[in-house]
């Protein structure tokens, strides 16, 4: 509803989606279709940021491949057991937008 109101007021509206991970965000296509239907002109995809607290939740929820998360952390020089409150980006973010307002995402 907010996207629709902003669009009606003439604002170019974008959707920010973070993170897109297998098992945890399988409905992303439906979300994008609803956003497009409401008038959104683009989407920005953000990276997965992992802190000690987020890592614990991911591990407990078992919705992502925790070994893949571990590998990405190690590739950035961070051991999973050494995570702190500060977040570490482990996925590349790819911003995108449709430069022509009013056209489909």
Q: Provide DSSP, 35-69.
A: HHHHT--EEEEPPPEE-HHHHHHHHHHT-S-HHHH
Maximum alpha-carbon separation in the chain: 48
In order of 11, 12, 26, 87, 98, the CA distances from 39 in angstroms are 10, 8, 22, 32, 12
Is 80 exceeded by the pLDDT of residue 63? no
Estimate the crossing angle of helix 66-75 against helix 52-61, to 10 degrees. Answer: 150
Q: Which of 12-16, 43-47, 89-93 has the highest mean pLDDT?
A: 12-16
pTM: 0.57
Asked whether residue 94 carries a pLDDT value surpassing 80, the answer given is no
Average pLDDT of span 23-44: 86
* pLDDT at residue 83 in the model: 92
């Amino acid at each position: 509803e907010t996207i629709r109101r902003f669009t009606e007021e003439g604002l170019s509206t974008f959707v920010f989606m973070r993170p897109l991970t297998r098992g945890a965000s399988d409905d992303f296509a439906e979300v994008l279709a609803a956003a497009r239907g409401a008038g959104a002109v683009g989407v920005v995809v953000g990276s997965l940021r992992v802190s000690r607290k987020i890592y614990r939740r991911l591990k407990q929820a078992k919705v992502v491949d925790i070994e893949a998360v571990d590998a990405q952390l190690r590739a950035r020089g961070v051991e999973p057991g050494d995570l702190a409150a500060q977040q570490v980006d482990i996925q590349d973010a790819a911003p995108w937008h449709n430069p022509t307002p009013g056209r489909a995402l």
